[in-house]
Amino acid sequence: MALDRKIAYINLSTREVETKSIPLEMRKKFIGGRGMDAYLLYNHAPEGCDPLGPENPLIVSGGLLTATCASATARTHVMAKSPLTNLLGSCNMGGFFAPELAWAGFHHLVITGKADKPVYLWIHNGDIEIRDAQKLWGKNSTDTQWAIRDELDDQEVKSMVIGQAGENQVAYACVMTGIKNAGGRTGMGCVMGSKNLKAVAVRGTMDVKIAHPREALEHNKKFIDQITSAKVNQIQGALGTPFIWGATNCWGGVRTRNFQYNQMEYADEIEPEAIDDIATETMGPHHMTGCFGCQVHCRAQYKIQSGLYAGKYDEGPEYTSLGAFGAEPDCKSAETVLTGNHLVNQYGVDNLEIGSMIAWAMELYELGILTQKETEGIDLRFGNDEALLQMVHNICTRTGWLGNVLADGGIPAAEKIGKNAFDYLIQVKGMNNLHSDERATPGLALNIATASRGSDHLRSRPAIDLYHLPEPVLRKIYGSPVPYDGPLSSEHTEYIGKPWQVFWQENVYMAVDSLGICKYHTVFLGATLPNFEDWPDVIYYNTGLKFTPKEIWDAAERCNNLERLFNLREGLTRNDPKKGDTLNHRYFDEPCRRGAPDVIGKKIDRDKFNVMIDEFYDHHGWNKEGVPTSETLQRLGLENEPTRLL
């Protein structure tokens, strides 16, 4: 049964391991995956703990439906206090790790302490062993995985690892599995590095019993048909996330030159088609791969054909790599994009954050806030491909003054660089934004300002806002499972109704992250994809647990509130420019310079933005400071947290 998967507590300092069952009532309240992780983090992280200290728990999990007969439930979730934001650290990745963890008997791992020398965990059919990893230390993310397979003499082992960036405690280092699946955001790889934990290797052949196998099988088929019939997933399956590049750039939604522009001039040079020209194996219906059990297969495969890394095989690039190594540093070479993508995968670092950090440094260099003295001779101007790739190396290996400073993350770096460097850092809660520009889209701006892990689109973005869906369609989607009769607007440049959409999306994303489902299988990029109404059957057929759509919504809201409580406890306040629900001043002061006619000249209206925040808090049952009221906590059954039940 999925429900008999256990939770393991592993202390790397004392080498003690304890396992526990997960009570059903905890499943009903927190589901699994990210939701249960939020419970574990709030209960196990001491208030104000050092993110890089032994007491910070690193929580690794699969979702409730992981490794069952439900489509695309391969997501791994990792949570800890973030060394980048000093608030909630949380990342999510695809691949094959989480299902293997479930077949090995576990849904959650809570890893505390610090090993005195590099180690890795070997988890195999209920057993957990702490093994020496000194020979693995210094290896990149893929070599580490293959070396573990050879050492354990099993090519089916799946590992979650760190590359050199995690070892060097770059504040935004990733956890990685497979070629390019990355738990990218908030520096969970840095936390692993701080614990001297090089990898978690898993292999399992234990049954996950399906409660109603025939029904689960038939329902899975129906679900897959629903998912693959969506046009958005068909094109994802051919081009991956870069499919959205051209359109987004066209209307003016691609953050360029560290937010100076909202459109890249030479975007065509790094379009999927241009990348196709220089990569021998990429981006066609037969060069795509996917995560466990998924029929969308959105991940491209490629070989770099020329340059320093000619012949190297890799996966991607995703939209974020086009932004990180294209639009943001204003480099127009497909080869640079592929090379940068390869480097971040190998070092194990967040492409999004590193691209933003370098672009920020480029603007500071342009403004004279950074000079050749600080860059130690690197000509860090926009459009210098060589300097861009050199900085990727320098940050990941902490080489040179600037590389070392940028590796600490935006806010500490701004303090070290001094002057008014902070004003140019496009961050929320200390984390940089996706390479998208939200000045013309208030709903999307509200999403990044309030996202629980810092500036991020995958926490609450109402992406379908860009499709101008008719109001009745919006009402159908956003009016269930909780009735909503307030205003809704089909216009993406409007402010009205957006707080409800962001609130709804926040719950839908928490639900999928807790079930273990990928966001391409819910209302994210496609309006026709499954949501609350569709999940009770899947959960019931696979696990035997009964949920109503409203109960899933409630559980998601409960878990989102736990994340909120964690952030408040660690110092979030509404208007704090470094830890609050607010945006860089440029969103309010500098209008869009490029793009579609209804985008040029747009910026976020500060007063209307504040009204949106008020309304957003109100939907949650939070006060004007963004703190859940006691009635809200009571309604969600959180009034006694932390309860320490797990």
Partner 1 sequence: MEKFLTVDADKCTGCRLCEQVCSVMHEGVSNPAKSRIQVVKWEQEGVYIPVICKQCEDAPCMNVCPVRAISRDPDVGFMKVDQEVCIGCRSCVGICPFGAMGYNPAARQVFKCDLCGGDPQCVRFCEVKAVEFVPVDRVSAQKKRRSAARQSAAERQAVTTG
Q: Which two tokens stand for residue 452?
A: 């629980």
Instruction: Single out the segment in contact with partner 1 by CB under 8 A; choices: 192-200, 282-290, 429-437, 566-574.
Output: 282-290
Q: How far is the CB of 142 from partner 1 (least distance, A)?
A: 7
Q: Given the complex with partner 1, which of 348 and 403 has the nearer CB atom?
A: 348
- The DSSP secondary structure of 537-572, one letter per residue, reads HHHHHHH-----HHHHHHHHHHHHHHHHHHHHHTT-
Cα dihedral sign, 621-38-85-363: negative
By CB under 8 A, residue 30 contacts partner 1? no
By CB under 8 A, residue 69 contacts partner 1? yes
Residue of 42, 96, 365, 535 that binds partner 1 (CB under 8 A): 96
By CB under 8 A, residue 289 contacts partner 1? yes
Strand bridging mode 119-124 / 127-132: antiparallel
Residues in the chain: 646
Q: How would you list the strands of the sheet with 175-177, edge to edge? A: 127-132, 119-124, 197-203, 158-161, 175-177, 181-183
By CB under 8 A, residue 401 contacts partner 1? no
Q: Given the complex with partner 1, which of 260 and 295 has the nearer CB atom?
A: 295
By CB under 8 A, residue 290 contacts partner 1? yes
Q: Given the complex with partner 1, which of 220 and 305 has the nearer CB atom?
A: 220
By CB under 8 A, residue 487 contacts partner 1? no
By CB under 8 A, residue 179 contacts partner 1? yes
By CB under 8 A, residue 292 contacts partner 1? yes
The span from the first CA to the last CA of the chain, in angstroms, equals 20
Q: How far is the CB of 135 from partner 1 (least distance, A)?
A: 19
Cα 263 to its chain centre, rounded Å, is 24
Of 529, 600, 583, 626, residue with least CA distance to 233? 529
Q: Which of residues 293-322 bind partner 1 (CB under 8 A)?
A: 293-295, 297, 301, 313, 315
By CB under 8 A, residue 223 contacts partner 1? no
- Number of residues interacting with partner 1: please give it, by CB under 8 A: 39
Calculate the alpha carbon distances from 491 to 467, 597, 599 in Å: 9, 14, 12
Contacts of 166 (CB under 8 A, 6+ apart): 173, 174, 175, 189, 190, 192, 193, 348
Instruction: Single out the segment in contact with partner 1 by CB under 8 A; choices: 213-221, 378-386, 514-522, 553-561.
Output: 213-221
Q: Can you tell me the distance from the alpha carbon of 56 to that of 192, in angstroms, rounded to the nearest whole number? A: 10
The answer to whether 584 touches 448, Cβ cutoff 8 Å, is no
Q: Can you tell me the distance from the alpha carbon of 615 to that of 599, in angstroms, rounded to the nearest whole number? A: 25
Q: Can you tell me the distance from the alpha carbon of 113 to that of 17, in angstroms, rounded to the nearest whole number? A: 12
Of 89, 40, 28, residue with least CA distance to 637? 28
Q: Given the complex with partner 1, which of 222 and 419 has the nearer CB atom?
A: 222
Residues 239-278, one symbol each (x = binds partner 1 by CB under 8 A, - = not), give ----------------------------------------
Instruction: Single out the segment in contact with partner 1 by CB under 8 A; choices: 289-297, 530-538, 596-604, 608-616.
Output: 289-297
By CB under 8 A, residue 622 contacts partner 1? no
Asked, as a colleague might, if the bond just before 481 is cis with ω within 30 of 0, I would say yes
Instruction: Single out the segment in contact with partner 1 by CB under 8 A; choices: 62-70, 346-354, 484-492, 564-572.
Output: 62-70
Q: Which of residues 132-171 bind partner 1 (CB under 8 A)?
A: 142, 146
By CB under 8 A, residue 226 contacts partner 1? no
The answer to whether 492 touches 445, Cβ cutoff 8 Å, is no
By CB under 8 A, name the binding residues for partner 1: 67-69, 71, 96, 103, 142, 146, 178-179, 205-210, 213, 216-217, 220-221, 224, 228, 281, 285-295, 297, 301, 313, 315
